[in-house]
Chain A
Amino acid sequence: MRRNSTFLYSVLCFGYAFLYIPIFVLIAYSFNNARLATVWGGFSTRWYSALLENTQILDAALLSLQIALVSATVATLLGTLAALGLNRMGRYRGRMLFTGMIAAPLVMPEVITGLSLLLLFVSLQELIGWPGARGANTITIAHITFSMAYVAVIVQARLASMDEALEEAAMDLGGRPFAVNLDITLPLIMPAMGAGWLLAFTLSLDDLVISSFAAGAGASTLPMVIFSKVKLGVTPEINALATIIIAIVMFGVIIAGWLMWRQQRLVATGPVKA
């Protein structure tokens, strides 16, 4: 009786068409020769060459990548510590507040997070003369703050589903907590940390609203440049940029999928003979 009805099949077809047609249309138009972005004027790669000569977009992309690399790495470290603090450290004062502070950034509207961080930076500047000019530094701090919460949730889910017996056994055998965390816990939560890092990296690359607040006049990230261009209407160069970003993501997903498939096979069948 596990047969999908025609209705459910049509819903699936409609749903996936809805999710993917706009993306495919965007890709198709990126190869459009016409100046008016939405009228077909023959195949061309002119917008890709235009994109490669647009130093504003290239600089912004480079800045975004730098911010994403730094913020994802710091967020993974802090988020993993936070997950350990929530799941392996027993009771301590202020644990409730800690739990709340880790969950809250996940559901906080971006405009509020952005506004509050900017007001903090301005107040700190008044009080202690730091952070000076706002730009890449303040954007990075802002990104670490919201993405460490995502990392903490992912690593915590892994810690919660893990059998604590291994760690307990190591402790019973005289292992010190730090050494046990390093030798036993860390290898087990590595995949979750990797997933958290990827998510933090993606979120940082994609963020517009919080970056706009945290950046002073000094720095423009890629989403900020894209937004300022598309606010005025459809822009062919952005179609080309979108296609490149989608291609990179697809490539990454295929690689990740292949790695996971290989690992599963290794676990299932043992090491593959050369």
Chain B
Amino acid sequence: MSLVVNPGRADRLWRGLVITAPYLWLLIFFLVPFAIVLKISLADPLVAQPPFSNFFDWSGSSGRRVLATLDNYRFLFEDRLYLVSYLNSIRIALIATGLCLLLGFPMAYAIARTPYPWRNLLLLLVILPFWTSFLLRVYAWMVMLGKQGLINQLLLSFGLVDAPLQFLYTDQAVYLGIVYTYVPFMILPLYASLEKLDPDLHEAAADLGARRHRVFLDVTLPLAMPGIIAGCLLVFIPALGEYVIPALLGGLDTLMIGRTLYDEFFVNRDWPLASAVAVVLLLILILPIMLFQRLSQESEA
């Protein structure tokens, strides 16, 4: 047994590797970057490479001096563009989440009541679009909604309108795009909680004389609540920071914060301001994200 000199040492090595390798990776490429974003959000923009001022000033005689400024954050509140972007994002994400729930709930409910093996097929059909490109699914709506798109062609040929309507590049197109791409995230958790629903409960409630809408309100809805909350968070959180959908389907005035951040970074090249926008966006998202974490931990336990 010359190869395995010390099995205890090999075990410690294995244990060390299992924990350390992914830990270090995430520390370096996930946690440290946030510290850098925070740092740069406190810097001055410069026309240089990289385009921001140093955090520390070494030139003085008394050693280093911290050069931090809150100017970027002050600017966020003074310039209406950013405030409007944040509020618009929240409004659009909330409305789109509500629409997702309106479409997703009855779909999940109907799927949960479909007998096997049809149920598996229906579920597969919900997940399938997710495996094709997100970008191309958003693009598909440009083909549908454009001035010469399918919907306008149909409306014109049936004589319902005289001139093509402006569907594309509006807020409504953005709602549609978000609902289209994110509704699977609503249906799946809803299905998971509705599936567990015991049909005997319904019958019992009905036998005791409850009307159908009372059964729904008093039995179905409370039991589906964890799925509703999880689904809403899964749609709301990514929708809030969405960039692609407003960039392709929204109008120039469809301000959403993900798009504002992207443009601030790539078009205006104001990295410190973009970092400040990111920090504030993260602060807005902390509450829903923590709520989601707690919810998923509870469901695991």
Contact = CB atoms under 8 A, between A and B. Distances in A.
B22 A79 contact: yes
B73 interface: no
B131 A202 contact: yes
A22 B33 contact: no
B22 A148 contact: yes
B5 interface: no
A103 B107 CA distance: 28
A38 B139 contact: no
Contact of B113 (A2, A94, A152): A2
Contact of B135 (A12, A92, A152, A227): A227
A112 B278 CA distance: 6
B10 to A, nearest CB: 6
Interface residues of B, number: 89
A105 B30 contact: yes
Contacts of B262: 111, 209
What are the nearest 7 A-B pairs in CB distance? A109-B241, A116-B33, A82-B22, A22-B140, A8-B110, A178-B14, A11-B106
Interface in A224-241: 226-227, 230-231, 233-234, 238-239, 241
Given A2-B113, A212-B266, A234-B149, 18 more contacts: A11-B106, A12-B107, A18-B103, A19-B180, A22-B140, A23-B140, A38-B143, A82-B23, A101-B27, A101-B30, A107-B238, A112-B278, A116-B278, A120-B28, A123-B36, A230-B248, A234-B146, A246-B132
Given A4-B113, A12-B110, A89-B15, A245 B136 contact: yes
Interface of B is mostly: helix
Contacts of A9: 110
B135 A112 contact: no
B155 interface: no
A37 interface: yes
Contacts of A82: 22-23, 26
Contact of B180 (A18, A141, A142, A181): A18
Contact of B142 (A2, A145, A233): A233
Interface string A231-269: 101100011011001100110110001000000000000
Contacts of A227: 135, 244, 248
A178 B11 contact: yes
Interface stretch (B63-71, B122-130, B218-226): B122-130
A11 B282 CA distance: 36
A226 B135 contact: yes
Nearest to A182: B14
Interface in A1-26: 1-4, 7-9, 11-12, 15-16, 18-23, 25-26
Contact of B131 (A92, A101, A107, A253): A253
Interface string B151-186: 001000000000000000000000000001001000
5 contacts: A7-B106, A19-B183, A38-B143, A85-B22, A107-B238
Interface of A is mostly: helix
Nearest to B265: A115
B253 interface: no
A129 B58 CA distance: 20
Contacts of B293: 100, 103
A126 B36 CA distance: 13
Given A242-B136, A245-B133, A94 B146 contact: no
Interface of A: 1-4, 7-9, 11-12, 15-16, 18-23, 25-26, 29, 36-39, 78-79, 81-82, 84-85, 88-89, 92, 94, 98, 100-105, 107, 109-112, 115-117, 119-120, 122-123, 126, 141-142, 144-145, 148, 152, 160, 176-178, 181, 202, 205-206, 208-209, 212-213, 223, 226-227, 230-231, 233-234, 238-239, 241-242, 245-246, 249-250, 252-253, 257
Nearest to A247: B132
A262 B242 CA distance: 40
Contacts of A16: 122, 125
B190 to A, nearest CB: 12
A94 B23 contact: yes
A23 B137 contact: yes
Nearest to B19: A85
Contacts of B300: 160
Interface in B85-139: 103, 106-107, 109-111, 113-115, 122, 124-126, 128-129, 131-137, 139
B213 to A, nearest CB: 13
A202 B15 CA distance: 30
